[in-house]
Each structure stands twice: as structure tokens, then as C-alpha cells.
Amino acid sequence: MAIKKITISVPQKESKKWKLSFGKGERKRNSASVIFLAIEKRLQARAIKEKLAIRVKYTKDTDNETIPSQNAPYLLYATSCFLEDFLSKEVLKRIRKQYLI
């Protein structure tokens, strides 16, 4: 059975939109915070039945990926670490309070 992946693409100089893919199609968003909140809503709204990995692509050759897991808090916290430089201070503060306790 294949592991499902959520893919986030960090915008390059020529493109100002972030790309988010849940495996079917691609959505474009304006900021990392909006991307993170969309993933958070999706993972909290549904029980994760299969292992899931989240991949953040920075450039064509550089990326980070979580270990496949069904643990939503782990996936969200690891993703926030990958996106730490791009998230707003308010979102980072809430993440630290919520997932580090």
C-alpha cells in the first residue's frame, strides 16, 4: 500500500504563490501560515486511517519530509519546524503552546 503524501512547495523568485497538494490537484495560497492552517484543519477534521507523510519542497533539489505517521500532532509540529522561517509570529506562538505541552 502506498503512503499518502501532502506536498508543500515553497515559492521561487518568479512565483509568489505557495503550492499545496493533497495528492489530487494543486492549490495555490499566498502564505505559509495559510498553508499550515489548511493542513491543520484537514488533519484535525478527519481521523487519519493510513500513514501519511508531509513533504516540504524548498527548491528542485532540496526538501524535507516527515516520517510516515498517523499521529496528527507529530505531523503538524514537524511541518511547523520545516516552515518555521516562513510562518507568522502569531501562528508560531500558538503552535509552540499547543504542540510542545
Q: How many domains does the chain have?
A: 1
Q: What is residue 30's predicted lDDT score, i.e. its pLDDT?
A: 86
Q: What is residue 62's predicted lDDT score, i.e. its pLDDT?
A: 93
Q: How confident is the model at residue 27 (pLDDT cuts 50, 70, 90)?
A: confident
Domain housing 58: 4-99
Compute CA distances 22 → 14, 31, 42, 94, 97, whole Å.
Answer: 23, 17, 10, 24, 26
pLDDT tens, 49-80? 889 999 999 988 999 999 999 999 999 999 99
pLDDT tens, 5-15? 999 999 987 66
Q: Would you say the pTM of this structure is higher than 0.85?
A: yes
